[in-house]
Structure 1
């Protein structure tokens, strides 16, 4: 019996966040939770991209998505913040720079 940790032949590795990438994302998330703007999140890893989605309320559609697409690293940059309507709010190669989109916006809860 062989315990080979490598993926099977033909299977591609999934894209996911590492600890250095999750740290600034979770700092922004924590700040927005403390302000009462966000209440929940989901992390998805896939073949082409990883996604950190934030929600204003549980059960709603994601308010924002932070995407990592390594295939775009040499072109537009692998990081993107996508708004609720699917519009790309910011894209780039440097995660902290892309996350600054949340610093420049004034968020208000509308009920």
Structure 2
């Protein structure tokens, strides 16, 4: 049990020890860290490729998830299905294998790296010679 003796920011326990005043914003940041998000330039790169593929009729929908440990841009053929691809940003892997990765439906990593622009090149199509 605690009895408030010195105003709303101090409390005294039954043993007589005064508790420490903690800033609520600092406490919330420590308890619930902000989720990982894509920055504007990262979204520009992703949406540029997404727009091109929508124009070609290959993709139709997307979803963005901001989780505690990673940010995920999911790409769908149809909105009711599993995502065809997931572009993930995981800052914990930045020093090791690279923070960015492209993952297909099966969960296989198609490409991983430190720079998003290089990782997104997995969606570039190879030019083919067409005979007439």
Same fold (TM over 0.5): yes
* C-alpha distance in 2 between matches for 1:95 and 1:29: 14
State the partner residue of 1:64: 85
* C-alpha distance in 1 between matches for 2:103 and 2:125: 15
Residue ranges of structure 2 left out of the alignment (5+ in a row): 1-24, 128-132
The structure, 1 or 2, with the larger RCO (C-alpha pairs under 8 Å, 6+ apart) is 1
SS in 2 for 1:12: coil
Residue ranges of structure 1 left out of the alignment (5+ in a row): 107-111
State the partner residue of 2:33: 12
Name the CA shift for 1:102/1:6 in 2 (closer, same or farther; >3 Å).
Answer: farther
Name the CA shift for 1:55/1:18 in 2 (closer, same or farther; >3 Å).
Answer: same
The answer as to 2:74 corresponding to 1:82 is no
State the partner residue of 1:41: 62
State the partner residue of 2:116: 95
* C-alpha distance in 1 between matches for 2:105 and 2:85: 6
Higher CA-based Rg: 2
TM-score (norm 2): 0.73
Aligned length, in residue pairs: 105
